[in-house]
């Protein structure tokens, strides 16, 4: 079988990509970039536009000129055209639809009262899958691109492995025993519940398995990590992601209302949101809605939220054994399942890769070992007063006398004792003196207690001591691209007929378990987490 | 979609999940090395 099809399209895609990069470089797209607020992507628009465009043009010439014969060269080279096809859609998603939705969400906020783009999580994850689904159902994947679309899962797996670089042991060290216990019970409990209900409602084992990981752990990475061990189809992964996001929208609105009506404290609400809400972005949204004037709730919620990642390998092992047993039972095979054998043969090596990358990141080779997702606190003199490598100018980030005068004048406005003390220490030290003070002062900014000028000074002081590791920032960009690529390709494997075939069962089961998890965790948090701020 | 390909499966070009995992692993660590040395 020969996979390379004679077509001009890869060449056209290449010309479009290079042309786009050229227009960005020459400044002709500046108004559009300004309108969309994508100026920060200008660098990658050039690099990726020229790089992928060049590859696509070369592949296009290969498709036109070469007379391929059956073999490895034909098989592997023919994937390039499909990869470029996905990348073109990914460019539209990442530089067009994603920022466009973010803008519309912000514009509609005064009318709607909420930012629909952030509430509905209309970012590149959702837009990528939707774009893929639209392409396959409206236009169909062209024959010359079909082989390359089969590389999308490789993209997702690579993204999951790289995700390990964003975490470090230092962050996990902050976790209390309670968060690990609470999360453990609810993660494992949710997985178990989905497996039970899914089996009772005769959902395919693959769908039940991937849904249980998604509902139990959280989001895209869990669904992707569990999918191979239960042999889940693209549609089933997309369904799981859709269920989590839709349920999360409901939670984002309801959790803060319930929390306030029950008079929950910040730690209590943070623990509840971090346990009960399934998607990380929506956890943050609910925490900020509950406590707009501070970030104590957000910090607790984030810690609870990332604890779930710890359980990912355990869940994958569990699902591998569960799936083999279920499949054997369906085929009426009676031999005993050797758990160790199943783990050795089924455990996805890329999940192991995620752990390896996490260990590597914990050594501090990509960022100071205490970093969390690349961000770290450093208020040492050498960070505050240094010479800029590019411009050669001296940078002094200590607060100036005029700043100190403004803050001293506005000190009276701050009523909360801890916030006022933190502000006083900032004035005395001319810099944020500790990580705890930094968190407290961010709360002062969020609460808009000070004047515009006062808030600007606090924000400057915060930026002076909070640093983002360049390497981790690069990993974050790469992960976003691998996920966009993978999710667009995943969407391209989902046809309307397969959606009709699957029906609405996953959404029903996911929601039932989500509600049980939310209510259960609420009760446990109210009973066990007593301390409030 | 399965009939369209005589190698791999409908979801992947690789002969098995393990091959795909290993490829993702190699790719990730090559990228990590590039980030480490170049950024």
Domain range for A388 = 376-468
B34 has a chain A CB within 8 A of its CB: no
Distance, in angstroms, between A470 CA and closest chain B CA? 7
Per-residue pLDDT, A431? 93
Whether A69 has a pLDDT exceeding 80, the answer reads yes
In a shared domain, residues A381 and A357: no
Distance, in angstroms, between A460 CA and closest chain B CA? 26
Distance, in angstroms, between B15 CA and closest chain A CA? 12
**C-alpha closest to that of A306 among A511, A166, A419:** A166
Per-residue pLDDT, A390? 67
In a shared domain, residues A312 and A341: yes
**Domain-terminating residue out of A468, A490, A508:** A468
Per-residue pLDDT, A382? 82
A287: in domain: yes
By Cβ distance, the residue of B8, B12, B28 closest to A158 is B28
In a shared domain, residues A59 and A41: yes
For residue range B1-35, list pLDDT tens digits in order.
445 788 877 778 999 888 999 999 999 999 999 99
pTM of the predicted model as reported, rounded to 2 decimal places = 0.79
In a shared domain, residues A335 and A227: yes
In a shared domain, residues A362 and A380: no
In a shared domain, residues A78 and A174: no
In a shared domain, residues A451 and A399: yes
Contact B31 A478 (CB under 8 A): yes
The interface predicted TM-score of the complex, written ipTM, equals: 0.94
Contacts of B24 in chain A (CB under 8 A): 154, 157-158, 161, 350, 353
Contacts of B28 in chain A (CB under 8 A): 158, 161-162, 353, 357
Distance, in angstroms, between B9 CA and closest chain A CA? 8
For residue range A9-32, list pLDDT tens digits in order.
999 999 999 999 999 999 999 999
Per-residue pLDDT, B29? 96
For residue range A194-233, list pLDDT tens digits in order.
999 988 888 889 989 998 998 888 666 788 888 888 888 8
By Cβ distance, the residue of A151, A348, A357 closest to B28 is A357
By Cβ distance, the residue of A153, A233, A471 closest to B20 is A153
A320: in domain: yes
- Per-domain residue ranges of chain B: 13-39
In a shared domain, residues A99 and A168: no
Integer Cα distance of A427 and A414 in angstroms: 14
Whether A348 has a pLDDT exceeding 60, the answer reads yes
Per-residue pLDDT, A533? 38
Per-residue pLDDT, A97? 93
Summary mean pLDDT of chain A: 86
Contacts of A357 in chain B (CB under 8 A): 28, 32
A251: in domain: yes
In a shared domain, residues A95 and A195: no
List C-alpha distances in Å: A269 to A265, A527, B37: 6, 13, 42
A residues 460-499 closer than 8 Å to B (CB): 470-471, 474-475, 478, 493
In a shared domain, residues A387 and A400: yes
A144: in domain: no
In a shared domain, residues A198 and A251: yes
Domains contained in chain A, number = 3
In a shared domain, residues A464 and A484: no
Q: What percent of chain A has pLDDT over 70?
A: 93
Q: Name every residue whose Cβ is closer than 8 Å to that of residue A475 and which is 6 or more positions away in sequence.
A: A162, A165, A166, A366, A374, B32, B35
Instruction: Say which range, A136-140, A358-362, A495-499, A507-511, has the weakest mean pLDDT.
Output: A495-499
Burial of B19 (0-12, 13-18, 19+ CB in 10 A): middle
């Amino acid at each position: 079988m020969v996979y390379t099809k004679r077509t001009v399209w890869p060449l056209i895609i290449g010309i479009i990509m290079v042309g786009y990069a050229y227009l960005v470089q020459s400044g002709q797209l500046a108004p559009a970039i300004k309108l969309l607020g994508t100026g920060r992507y200008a660098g990658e628009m050039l690099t990726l536009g020229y790089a992928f465009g060049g590859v696509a043009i070369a592949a296009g010439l290969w498709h036109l000129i070469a007379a391929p014969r059956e073999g490895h060269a034909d098989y592997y080279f023919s994937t390039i055209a499909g990869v470029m096809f996905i990348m073109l859609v990914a460019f539209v998603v990442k530089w067009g639809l994603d920022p466009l939705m973010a803008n519309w969400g912000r514009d509609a906020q005064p009318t709607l009262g909420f930012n629909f783009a952030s509430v509905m999580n209309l970012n590149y994850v959702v837009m990528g899958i939707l774009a893929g689904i639209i392409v396959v159902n409206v236009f169909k994947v062209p024959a010359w691109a079909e082989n390359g679309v089969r590389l999308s899962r490789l993209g997702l797996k690579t993204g999951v492995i790289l995700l390990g670089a964003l975490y470090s042991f230092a962050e996990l060290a902050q976790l209390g025993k309670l968060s690990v216990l609470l999360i453990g019970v609810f993660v494992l409990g949710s997985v178990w519940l989905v497996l039970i209900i899914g089996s009772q409602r005769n959902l395919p084992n693959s769908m039940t398995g991937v849904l249980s990981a998604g509902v139990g752990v959280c989001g895209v990475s869990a669904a992707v990590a569990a999918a191979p061990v239960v042999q889940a189809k693209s549609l089933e992964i997309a369904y799981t992601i859709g269920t989590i996001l839709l349920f999360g929208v409901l939670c984002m609105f309801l959790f803060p209302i319930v929390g306030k009506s029950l008079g929950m404290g910040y730690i209590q609400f943070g623990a509840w949101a971090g346990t009960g809400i399934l998607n990380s972005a929506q956890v943050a949204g609910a925490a900020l809605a509950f406590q707009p004037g501070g970030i104590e709730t957000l910090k607790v919620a984030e810690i609870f939220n990332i604890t779930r990642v710890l359980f990912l390998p355990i869940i994958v092992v569990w699902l591998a054994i569960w799936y083999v047993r279920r499949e054997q039972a369906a085929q009426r095979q009676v031999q005993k399942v050797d758990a160790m054998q199943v783990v050795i043969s089924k455990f996805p090596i890329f999940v192991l890769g995620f752990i390896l990358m996490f260990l590597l990141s914990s050594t501090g080779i990509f960022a100071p070992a205490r970093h969390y997702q690349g961000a770290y606190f450093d208020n040492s003199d050498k960070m505050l007063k240094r010479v800029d490598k590019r411009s050669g100018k001296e940078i002094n980030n200590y607060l100036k006398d005029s700043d100190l005068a403004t803050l001293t004048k506005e000190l009276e406005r701050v009523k909360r004792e801890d916030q006022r003390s933190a502000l006083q220490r900032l004035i005395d030290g001319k810099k944020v003196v500790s990580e705890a003070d930094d968190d407290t002062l961010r709360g002062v900014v969020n609460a808009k207690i000070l004047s515009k000028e006062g808030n600007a000074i606090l924000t400057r002081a915060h930026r002076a001591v909070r640093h983002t590791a360049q390497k981790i920032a690069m990993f974050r960009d790469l992960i976003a691209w691998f996920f966009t690529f993978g999710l667009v390709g995943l969407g391209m494997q989902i046809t309307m007929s397969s959606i009709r075939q699957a029906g609405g069962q996953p959404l029903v089961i996911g929601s039932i378990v989500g509600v049980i998890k939310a209510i259960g965790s609420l009760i446990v948090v109210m009973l066990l987490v007593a301390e409030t701020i | 979609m399965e009939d369209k390909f005589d190698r791999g499966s409908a979801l992947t070009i690789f002969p098995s999940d393990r091959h795909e995992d290993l490829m993702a692993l190699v790719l990730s660590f090559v990228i990590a090395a590039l980030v480490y040395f170049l950024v």
